Amino acid sequence: MAQSFRKSQIVAEARHSGQVTVDGLVARFGVTPQTIRRDLAELAEDGLLERVHGGAIPASGTANIAHGERARLNAAGKQAIARAVARDLPGGASVFLNIGTTTEAVAEALTGHADLLAVTNNMNVAARLAATAKVIVTGGTLRPSDGALVGTLAEASVRQFKFDYAVIGCSALDDAGDILDFDIEEVAVSQSIIARSRRVFLVADHSKLGRPAPARIGSLADVDALYTDAELPEGLAARCTEWGTRVKVC
């Protein structure tokens, strides 16, 4: 198993279970304790985990992972999600794509779509779509760490539109179906996007499942479809069925 895939699985397991142990990971992956300790040390250096005796726990739930590390984490899963979303988005539509590495992957997958009007508060999304779509960038305060535009100007820009589709990401998705994030200014923009869109697609890879984050965007009941790369916990899957939220495992 490639180290990058193993490490992404270790992070996902830590976020789902609250901790991982060296012994448990050795048994799961069939590698030596020294290999697992090295993986945990590297993940701790990257700010993804905190080392504890015998294993590791998730890093603090009050700050997000750096953009570059998020882009590398489970890149294959995010690309699979992006391809599935692109298949379900028609050409000739208006679509809002918000902040996040998964929405950036969706933008890359949409470059073949004709006559697309893309509105975004993500400078990376704008750059990816600029050559093939009509792109409108919101106003807002630029967050240099990830090219995000947030704040009251971004909210005001969103309110000028009614989108056919919104493709939104999040930082975390808990077992109650709450969609979570770290930056309250980003949350307010995402809430406006949901309110101004006819159909809302949430994109969240398995590393977001069960992860803590302090600010609530809304609920899976507020979106039309969830695109992810892993089966949901049984209780959450049942809630989605009750709410009429389509779940597509990519």
Alpha helix (H) residue ranges in 46-122: 67-72, 75-88, 101-109
pLDDT (0 to 100) of residue 71? 66
pLDDT (0 to 100) of residue 75? 86
- Topology of domain 3-59 in CATH is Arc Repressor Mutant, subunit A (1.10.10)
51 contacts: CB under 8 Å, gap ≥ 6: 40, 41, 44
pLDDT (0 to 100) of residue 1? 57
For 78-97, write each residue's pLDDT tens digit.
999 999 999 999 999 999 99
Amino acid identity of residue 118, one-letter, is A
pLDDT (0 to 100) of residue 192? 97
Q: Which helix (H) or strand (E) holds 27?
A: helix 22-29
- Topology of domain 68-249 in CATH is Rossmann fold (3.40.50)
Q: Mean pLDDT per segment of 10 residues, for the chain of length 250 residues?
A: 78 78 94 94 84 79 63 84 98 96 97 96 97 97 92 96 97 94 91 98 90 91 97 95 98
Residue ranges per structural domain of the chain: 3-59, 68-249
pLDDT (0 to 100) of residue 206? 86
pLDDT (0 to 100) of residue 14? 82
pLDDT (0 to 100) of residue 63? 58
Q: What sign for the dihedral angle of Cα 68, 214, 57, 81?
A: negative
CA proximity to 141, closest of 196, 184, 203? 184
pLDDT (0 to 100) of residue 221? 98
The model carries a pTM of 0.78
pLDDT (0 to 100) of residue 62? 55
